[in-house]
Structure 1
Amino acid sequence: MTASRRKFLSSISMLAASSALPIHAFDFGHSQKLKVALIGTGIRGITFWGKRLVDEYSDILEFVGLCDHNPSRLQFGKEYIGASCPTFVDFVTMVSTTKPDLVIVTTKDSTHHEFIIKGLEMGCDVLTEKPLTTDEIKCQAILDAEKKSEKNLIVGFNYRWSPYATKIKQLLKNETIGKLVSIDFHWYLNTYHGASYFRRWHGQMESSGSLWVHKATHHFDLLNWWIDSEPQEVFAYGDLEFYGKNGPFRGKNCRSCEHTTNCDFHWDILKDGMAKKLYVDHEHADGYIRDNCLFREEIDIYDKMSAQVKYANNTIVNYSLTTYSPFEGWRVAFNGTEGRIEAWLDIPYNKNIQLGQEELHAKEMEQSSQEVFDIEPIIVHKLWNDYETINVATEKSGHGGGDQRLQDHILKTPDKKDEFDRTAGLRDGAMSCLIGIAARKSIEKKQPIKISDLSSLRPKSKRS
């Protein structure tokens, strides 16, 4: 076994270590390179978990199979990734034929559980994109499958690895403001990025579980990690009052709509080179329309959301998600027994931001290897003292530098101890999506929802 392969095996074991379930050492067989199979050739699959792996880690891994129900998009995905492996439209056939060591799942959220469970049952270790799944029944099925299996499941969280989020973790870990008491966390999606979810399958509850699950799982994972505890109870409000049936007019899709001249949200997908090549050119095969109308009647997810989360260590969180903000960014404030920490990113009037809102989102999603740093502040208030400004070197591309750091730690420096415990396992994935699931159920039932009522997991006062 090569040295680089030993490092990879070690890193995967480290990732699995945060699961509360029995852990078995990852065993990828005896091949010289890790054999990887990918299911789901959408944008996240072919970029972050596809092309970037080929470009950066070909010395320790190789793709042995790619799978998607759309054969036309599948072929484009193979070419974009730069893989030389066979392609399949059936997952079981791919796994039984290629016998991969690791299966990477980047399909529609509501189908994650199918491929996670089948992959484990067929003797593969599995890495899934967030969110883990979309409801409590599927979550429990995944937990049961992993427990029965001799293989392991990991969830690819990246926000933890950004330098800015890590600095906040360091301050809290060092008890800079004493014992943590409460948090106010507000996330703003702009009318470009926020609207994009309502154009796609994400706009329907049965596919995404709502943005409580698909998007906010990122935010809830950050909270769980920052607080170093697990959620106990959730109470939430939410409604759909901007997109969907609330729109002033609607059309079949953006490119053929008769309201293009008077709709502020009009988006010409034919002028977006990547979107056209990845989606429009292949919609004949499965009927998936990437530029659906934001105001179509079948949209049933919430576009405004607010929740209160009580943690097992008695920390209280107030959280909100806005999907049609004039700008994209977030604010968080931590209240402690000895002071307060305030942090934010991309609030335009706090900083002279030159890029437009569409460009800002494109930059965040970009997988750039160039380290272009900016300086962002974190404010620390101590009781009876003046505030202190802590400047943090940050990056914009790849989710604030989190994407590259996540993969580099797993694949290049797995033996290096991570003092901030940024690696995320199955329990982390479950706890983050269960907050969103609980919030959705709380809105439906108009009552608080206990996390312990949703699965066999019992919230711990201290997660690490």
Structure 2
Amino acid sequence: MKKRYAVCGVSNRAIGMFIGPMLNTFSAHCEVVGLLDIDPRRHEVCKTKYPQLASVAEYGPDDFDRMVAETKPDAIIVTGRDDTHATYIIKALEKDLDVLTEKPMATTGADCRRIMDAEAKSKGKVTVTFNYRYAPIHTKIKEMVLEGKLGRITSIDLNWYIDTYHGSSYFKRWNRVREVSGGLSIHKSSHHFDLVNWWIGQKPVEAFAFGALNYYGPEGELNPKKESGRFCGTCEVKQDCTYYTRWSTRSKDVQIKDDHLGTVKEEQGKQAYSTYRPDACIYDEEINIEDTYSCTVRYDQGALLSYSVNFSLPYEGYRLAINGTKGRLETMEYHAPARTPFPTDVQTIDYFPLFGSKETIHVVHREGGHGGGDPVLLEDLFLGPDPARPYTILSGSEDGAYSIGTGEAVWRSVKEKRAVRIDEVLSGNLK
């Protein structure tokens, strides 16, 4: 029997990551029975792309109870704006429904606690779709740790780089407002914190951080004009904006891709998405989040993480080193070689035993988004976890909570200039 899914948040991510594969690859196992979104135009866009959904019922943001009563789903997929996640996850759990949610599971530690408390009383289960875990390089790192090649993990160095195209996109969109995204230490860095938590098999205890808004906002050094309320599409000084001219020309306006809400151009008398446009000025005074972080995280079994992320760099990728009592591994990844203005090597892992010679490990790479991780994640979601895999990889609510709790501890540490414990964040007992 097919499992019935209703989708809360008909975003680009919902359409591309879940709805399309459910209809094209997993149609023998899945059925989409309901679509819920604040903007009816998104329903229209989704059904235009997938005409087989023409008869699927549509609902507004306050119609969750009616949707469940009328469509009788087995599970809810949550893929709307980040600040809507907790509401629909909890509503679903209260009706004993399973939930698949994109990251971040919520935008605050307090909402994570509400979700875990609701799940404890429910027959439903929360799965957080951390697709970074599934990239072949990342699963190989997990296997090396489990094999004991590094011994007891003592420290991790992770430096993440977001290029000027990708980094500036967060400041054009809703992500730039902390109240709806949690800030980038949650919206983006929760991916990174989850990877480290999963790789080393330890729980974060405490974080201390520094952070700043260095590139964007009204005080950005490359701001061509201090004036809020501008949009790239109509801006009179866009040719003086380096972030704009790096990717666009006078005759070609490159639209930043928005994986979540997106936009469509007005055509044939139809209006673009009515509530949103993703080309707001990156120097707007509305921006209230940071674009640079550096932090240290302490774990319950003694490991120490040194982490940094920067959202305005010449190339995209990360550098990772994991140290243990038996050895060290190192790797570097370029996420967007097509945009990187120089040749990049295929990613490998260098393994250094504590007493021995270096070994370079090549990994078989796969097609698909997020470094080849998306297709395998979708198989686990819609076919069940791979029984041949000897370790757990799908994430639950606790995984989601620890990644968000770390991210919130980071920005609170920046704000309050003190070390912040993760249990403070997740319990709501903040000083």
TM-score (norm 2): 0.89
* Aligned pair partner of 1:322 in 310, 326, 331: 310
Give the Cα separation in 2 of the matches to 1:179 and 1:253: 51
Mapping 1:179-190, distance limit 5 Å: 179-190=152-163
Where does residue 329 of structure 2 map in the other structure? 341
* Aligned pair partner of 1:434 in 400, 405, 416: 405
1:386 CA displacement: 2.4
Where does residue 258 of structure 1 map in the other structure? 236
Greater Cα shift, 224-233 or 122-131: 122-131
Where does residue 455 of structure 1 map in the other structure? 426
* Aligned pair partner of 2:190 in 217, 229, 241: 217
CA contact (8 A) 2:135 2:371 kept: yes
1:417 CA displacement: 3.8
Give the Cα separation in 2 of the matches to 1:225 and 1:391: 21
1:126 CA displacement: 1.2
Mapping 1:55-454, distance limit 5 Å: 55-82=24-51, 83-84=53-54, 85-89=56-60, 90-247=63-220, 248=223, 249=225, 250=227, 252-266=230-244, 272=255, 278-281=263-266, 286-346=274-334, 353=337, 355-357=338-340, 375-395=346-366, 397-412=368-383, 414=385, 416-454=387-425
CA RMSD, Structure 1 to Structure 2 (Å):
2.5
SS in 2 for 1:212: helix
CA distance 1:141–1:253, shift in 2 (3 Å): same
Unaligned runs of 5+ in 1: 1-31, 361-373, 458-464
CA distance 1:184–1:415, shift in 2 (3 Å): closer
Amino acid at match of 1:254: C
Give the Cα separation in 2 of the matches to 1:396 and 1:326: 25
Where does residue 23 of structure 1 map in the other structure? none
Greater Cα shift, 125-134 or 374-383: 374-383
Give the Cα separation in 1 of the matches to 2:333 and 2:262: 32
Amino acid at match of 1:334: I
SS in 2 for 1:187: strand
Alignment deviations for residues 248-292 of structure 1 (CA, whole Å, 9 cap, x no partner): 225610010011212122266965598798444487664311111
Where does residue 368 of structure 1 map in the other structure? none
TM-score (norm 1): 0.83
1:47 CA displacement: 0.6
CA contact (8 A) 2:127 2:394 kept: no
1:347 CA displacement: 8.0
Give the Cα separation in 2 of the matches to 1:331 and 1:420: 25
Give the Cα separation in 1 of the matches to 2:262 and 2:352: 50
Greater Cα shift, 132-141 or 375-384: 375-384
* Aligned pair partner of 2:2 in 26, 33, 39: 33
Greater Cα shift, 147-156 or 327-336: 147-156
CA contact (8 A) 2:39 2:275 kept: no
Give the Cα separation in 1 of the matches to 2:418 and 2:200: 24
SS in 2 for 1:76: helix
Using the aligned pairs only, state the percent identity. 38
Amino acid at match of 2:363: V
Give the Cα separation in 2 of the matches to 1:208 and 1:273: 18
Amino acid at match of 2:231: N
SS in 2 for 1:224: helix
Greater Cα shift, 84-93 or 202-211: 84-93
CA contact (8 A) 2:263 2:273 kept: no
CA contact (8 A) 2:29 2:383 kept: no
Are 1:43 and 2:12 counterparts?
Answer: yes
Give the Cα separation in 1 of the matches to 2:257 and 2:19: 15
1:177 CA displacement: 2.3
1:394 CA displacement: 2.0
CA distance 1:423–1:188, shift in 2 (3 Å): same
SS in 2 for 1:261: helix
1:48 CA displacement: 0.3
Amino acid at match of 2:319: R
Unaligned runs of 5+ in 2: none
CA distance 1:51–1:274, shift in 2 (3 Å): farther
Greater Cα shift, 223-232 or 439-448: 439-448
CA contact (8 A) 1:47 1:81 kept: no
Greater Cα shift, 248-257 or 293-302: 248-257
Give the Cα separation in 2 of the matches to 1:286 and 1:156: 28
Amino acid at match of 1:156: T
CA contact (8 A) 1:156 1:424 kept: yes
CA distance 1:298–1:173, shift in 2 (3 Å): same
CA contact (8 A) 1:166 1:420 kept: no
Number of positions where the alignment pairs a residue of Structure 1 with one of Structure 2:
408
CA contact (8 A) 2:128 2:394 kept: no
CA contact (8 A) 2:262 2:278 kept: no
Give the Cα separation in 2 of the matches to 1:187 and 1:308: 14
